[in-house]
């Protein structure tokens, strides 16, 4: 088994307190609309401004551009209020939240088990997972002469665990839609996240749920495929693949641009392109892990394993991790105001950054939970 090694000098070095209202990366959106079968979150809401400023937050790099939008809208709504967000990765965000170093965390996977217990201890109350950012995960690649590749979950799993190592492997050629491709006799260079990442966790959960047993490595925030090279953060893996013809990675859809292609996914009903509309079709099937509560962690396994025609199943949801009750009322007031803006005014602009606005039904649940924070 080949051991991953970090790629040096690749990725973003995040500042300890990145004020996203003033700066941030800006990957272009995927070529898609924000329409879909589920109505997108719309409208504005009354906001009780005030409380702590700046709020401190840290975590998922996948939502960095979304937080920038949310912060801009928050500042418009609540003059002078700011959020300092450090896109250090989901693992770091959870650790910092549980250590009481930040006011809220960002994670591409909901906290559970030991992390949830630690969060409850930190808060003195239950911590909630509130989904505010939805984005597709692209299986992004760079391969000269091949700009429209179709992959099944089984083939994808075998690429990322070393079962398929060459681009001209018969299993890739046999996927419907690839028959006419001139696939080269070239090694596949797998690039994964070297830092703990909710994107990795979601990608591995997808492979586990959808690959019909081809992925046996499990899931988690650390990549377990055992092949290829690692790079830090979303920009890091995208940059690494751009630099190497024959490379492939998994990354948020907004980063699959400028020299990278996103593979179509065939879950059994034909290849499906990564578009916001196709992601929205998948969201229709979403269920919650804790039905009847304000902890809105989504159960995505049903989406990952589905073969709904025209639905793009590989997506992630980024959660803002918050205390249901804060010890400092000024923190609670500001967190509630920021999240209210994020769930309303902040949603529609997300489509320009490659994200998918949350469906209106989910927006209602999020706003109910935010209102209940004390």
Q: Kindly report the number of other CB atoms within 10 A of residue 72's CB atom.
A: 18
Phi and psi for 328 in degrees, rounded to 5?
Answer: -105, 115
And the tokens for 233? 């953060």
pLDDT class for 39, splitting at 50, 70, 90?
low
What is the value of pTM for the model shown?
A: 0.74
Model confidence at 132: pLDDT above 50 = yes
For the domain made up of 137-279, the CATH class stated in words is alpha beta
Q: Rg of the chain over CA atoms, in angstroms? A: 20
Angle between helices 329-343 and 360-372 in degrees, nearest 10: 170
Model confidence at 28: pLDDT above 90 = no
Alpha carbon of 253 to those of 78, 172, 192: distances in Å? 31, 22, 15
> Residue ranges of the domains in the chain?
137-279
What does 188-214 look like in DSSP terms, one character per residue? -EEEEESS--HHHHHHHHHHHHHSTTS
And the tokens for 114? 């030991």
Model confidence at 220: pLDDT above 60 = yes
Decide: residue 176, CB within 10 A, 0-12 exposed, 13-18 middle, 19+ buried: exposed
pLDDT at 319: 97
Which of the listed ranges 9-23, 158-172, 273-287 does the model predict with the highest average pLDDT?
Answer: 158-172
Q: Kindly report the number of other CB atoms within 10 A of residue 29's CB atom.
A: 18
Express each pLDDT in 88-122 by its tens digit.
999 999 999 999 999 999 998 899 999 999 999 99
pLDDT at 270: 96
Mean pLDDT taken over the chain? 88
Express each pLDDT in 227-286 by its tens digit.
999 999 989 999 999 999 999 999 988 889 889 999 999 999 999 999 888 988 888 767
Express each pLDDT in 281-340 by its tens digit.
888 767 899 999 999 999 889 899 999 999 999 998 999 999 999 999 999 999 999 999
pLDDT at 260: 97
Cβ–Cβ < 8 Å for 130, 368: no
From its phi and psi, is residue 190 left (phi > 0), alpha (psi between -120 and 50) or beta?
Answer: beta
């Amino acid at each position: 088994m080949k051991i991953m090694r970090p790629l040096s000098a690749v990725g973003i070095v995040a500042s300890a307190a990145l004020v996203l209202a003033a700066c941030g990366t800006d990957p272009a959106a995927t070529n898609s609309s924000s329409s879909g079968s589920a109505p997108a979150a719309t409208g504005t809401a009354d906001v009780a401004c005030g409380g702590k400023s700046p709020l401190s937050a840290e975590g998922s790099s996948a939502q960095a551009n979304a937080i920038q939008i949310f912060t801009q809208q928050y500042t418009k709504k609540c003059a002078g209020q700011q959020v300092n967000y450090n896109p250090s990765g989901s693992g770091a965000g959870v650790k910092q939240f549980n250590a009481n170093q930040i006011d809220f965390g960002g994670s591409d996977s909901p906290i559970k088990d030991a992390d949830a217990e630690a969060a409850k201890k930190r808060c003195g109350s239950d911590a909630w997972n509130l989904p505010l950012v939805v984005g597709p995960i692209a299986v992004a690649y760079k391969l000269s002469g091949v700009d429209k590749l179709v992959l099944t979950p089984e083939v994808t799993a075998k690429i990322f665990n070393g079962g398929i190592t060459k681009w001209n492997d018969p299993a890739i050629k046999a996927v419907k839609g690839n028959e006419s491709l001139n696939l080269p006799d070239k090694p596949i260079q797998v690039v994964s996240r070297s830092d703990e990442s909710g994107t990795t966790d979601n990608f591995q959960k997808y492979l586990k749920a959808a690959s019909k047993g081809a992925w046996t490595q499990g899931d988690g925030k650390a990549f377990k495929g055992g092949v290829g090279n690692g790079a830090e953060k979303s920009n890091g893996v995208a940059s690494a693949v751009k630099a190497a013809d024959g490379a492939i990675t998994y990354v948020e859809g907004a980063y699959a641009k400028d020299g990278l292609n996103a593979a179509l996914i065939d879950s059994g009903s034909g290849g499906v392109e990564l578009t916001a509309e196709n992601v929205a079709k998948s969201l229709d099937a979403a269920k919650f892990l804790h039905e009847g509560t304000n902890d809105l962690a989504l159960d995505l396994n049903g989406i990952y394993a589905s073969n709904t025609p025209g639905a793009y199943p590989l997506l992630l949801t980024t959660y803002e991790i918050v205390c249901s009750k804060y010890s400092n009322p000024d923190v609670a007031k500001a967190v509630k105001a920021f999240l209210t803006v994020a769930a309303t005014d902040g949603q529609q602009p997300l489509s320009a950054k490659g994200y998918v606005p949350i469906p209106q039904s989910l927006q209602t649940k999020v706003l109910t939970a935010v209102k209940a924070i004390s």
